Structure 1
């Protein structure tokens, strides 16, 4: 006999609220959940597996509309396997692009942290002191040399007489 879970138990295990679980059922993300004789929802193991997958889709940024489209295809059975695969391949490509962008941002942050550590070391600033020696400023260039050069003042061009 398969064990079934109440909505409260599912909420605790998934981190979703009971309200969200009912909402997911109402909008078609979750097929109608079986009910106990008293009318309470009872989630089976297969329901939990599907919820876990939905949470993965949500965690990776798939919008609700995309999740609904996927759920509709899933309800069609094996006839929609190719469409579901294509949909997941497209989503995976989007996730990979976001991961690559995040990796670039992480690299930029690491470089900036390294820069600030080098500035602290060169100027003998205590880490996280929040101050720089008098008369010194820390610029945001990737050098430990002198600060940025001043640009010459822009001069207005003389107007031609008309």
Structure 2
């Protein structure tokens, strides 16, 4: 089965503009073209789009994603490069998770703070309580 760019965008949770941009940036060399030049997405293209979306969502720059795609096209001689790239990205994501956990702790603290303040009807009830006791 073949999908138009609009159908592929809908299925992948992206916009047609994003898919055209990815294509322009060299991230979609695997997407076929119809005889009239229209992009024709196939079932296997959605796994590629999923990986691209994952990497983009974790903050990987387009140029690095393009490098990954290029390595995939080059074949098995680049397996170690691809592994190293994913290990680096894993480290970056772990750092992001750690930072998000710190943000979550701050948010949870503020929730406890305002729950106590709301229950008492005033922030004065919370002001003297040490942060680690909230």
Shorter-chain TM band? 0.7 to 0.9
Task: Call closer, same or farther: CA 1:48–1:120 in 2, change over 3 Å.
Answer: closer
Distance 1:99 1:106 in 2: 10
The question of whether the paired residues in 1 share the 8 Å contact of 2:117 and 2:126 is answered with: no
Q: What's the counterpart of residue 97 of structure 1?
A: 95
Q: Which structure is higher in strand share?
A: 2
Name which of structure 1's ranges 82-91 and 25-34 shifts more when overlaid on structure 2.
25-34
Q: What's the counterpart of residue 13 of structure 1?
A: 11
Larger Rg: 1
- Aligned ranges for residues 104-123 of structure 1 at < 5 Å? 104-121=102-119
Shift of 1:20: 2.2
TM-score by length of 1: 0.71
What 5-or-longer segments of structure 2 have no aligned partner?
A: none
When the two chains are superposed, the root-mean-square deviation of aligned CA atoms in Å is 2.1
Deviation beyond 6 Å, 4+ runs, structure 1: none
The question of whether the paired residues in 1 share the 8 Å contact of 2:117 and 2:125 is answered with: no
Shift of 1:57: 0.7
Q: What's the counterpart of residue 143 of structure 1?
A: 129
Task: Call closer, same or farther: CA 1:116–1:32 in 2, change over 3 Å.
Answer: closer
Q: What's the counterpart of residue 37 of structure 1?
A: 35
TM-score by length of 2: 0.84
**Post-superposition CA distance 1:34-57 (Å, at most 9, x none):** 222333211112211101110111
Q: Which structure is higher in helix share?
A: 2
Distance 2:8 2:99 in 1: 34
What 5-or-longer segments of structure 1 have no aligned partner?
A: 126-131, 145-162
Distance 2:92 2:80 in 1: 19
